[in-house]
Amino acid sequence: MKLENIKIVMVGTTHPGNIGAAARAMHNMCIANLTLVDPQCPIGEIAYSRASGANALLDNRQTCDQLAQAVADCNYVIATSARHRSLAWPELDPEGLAVKLSSMDENDRVALVFGREHSGLTNDELQLCNHMVSIPTNPEFSSLNLASAIQVLCYEIYRRQASQPAVKAPEPQDMRASSGEVERYFEHLQQVLESTGFMDPKQPGLIMQRLRRLYLRSELTRNEINILRGMLSAIEKRRN
């Protein structure tokens, strides 16, 4: 894949210095797209001074209210976390991530999502992601500074991408579906599971979470999403 198709997404960041330091780390590694989701600090003097000249990245940043908006156009979304979660998410280490990205094609769009300094990412935010990446650390002290975590992953990706040509894109139907397309499928699926009585909206349990994990793990193509949506529509038509 191409480095220009990678975006770094920082969610709910509270320290402007971390945003500036992240911009510097990204620019060092030729990754230019920075998206801030609901930032909790002004992007002013402190951020620009920590960016140490990577000003263009801060000038060109995108800002969104919600993570789903920020990643809607991406077809591969990676969460980062220092912690292991109870509902296990498919995990990669930084090198595994870099290998995975180098096998993706020139049109694939990837988001690397970083959480809040104090609390990381929420479970709802994790639900949007295909994979989780953890940087191996001292098990007793596993949380890196936010910009340092961004540096480590951008370095691993840069090191591998710089030496490899981008893989040619497949036919449009065989491309991975975007996060926005997959989210619309999940909405449709939930509607049908509720209207057929398979899932009780008052007591949904973990069914949707588990189904999301299953589908996100399989990295659906547009064609596959169309088949699944077609099946749901046929069920709805029969019921009506």
The footprint of ligand SAH (CB under 6 A) covers 80-83, 114-115, 117-121, 133-135, 137, 142-144, 146, 149
- Please report how close the Cβ of residue 155 comes to ligand SAH at its closest, in angstroms: 13
- What sign does the CA torsion over 35, 10, 13, 122 have? positive
- Please report how close the Cβ of residue 11 comes to ligand SAH at its closest, in angstroms: 8
- Please report how close the Cβ of residue 197 comes to ligand SAH at its closest, in angstroms: 38
Cβ proximity of 29 and 133 under 8 Å: no
Cβ nearer to ligand SAH, comparing 43 with 225: 43
How many whole angstroms separate alpha carbon 108 and alpha carbon 178?
9
Cβ nearer to ligand SAH, comparing 19 with 146: 146
The residues with which 9 forms a beta bridge, in sequence order, are 35, 113
Both structure tokens of 57: 């990245």
Contacts of 98 (CB under 8 A, 6+ apart): 156, 157, 159, 160, 161
Q: For 57, what's the count of Cα atoms within 13 Å in the CB-facing half-sphere?
A: 30
Cβ nearer to ligand SAH, comparing 117 with 219: 117
- Please report how close the Cβ of residue 13 comes to ligand SAH at its closest, in angstroms: 9
CB closest to ligand SAH, residue no: 120
- Please report how close the Cβ of residue 118 comes to ligand SAH at its closest, in angstroms: 6
Measured in degrees and rounded to the nearest 5, phi and psi for residue 113 equal: -110, 125
- Please report how close the Cβ of residue 133 comes to ligand SAH at its closest, in angstroms: 6
Cβ nearer to ligand SAH, comparing 119 with 203: 119
Cβ nearer to ligand SAH, comparing 16 with 215: 16
How many whole angstroms separate alpha carbon 231 and alpha carbon 55?
49
Cβ nearer to ligand SAH, comparing 115 with 199: 115
Backbone dihedral region for residue 216 (phi beyond 0: left; psi -120 to 50: alpha; all else: beta)? alpha
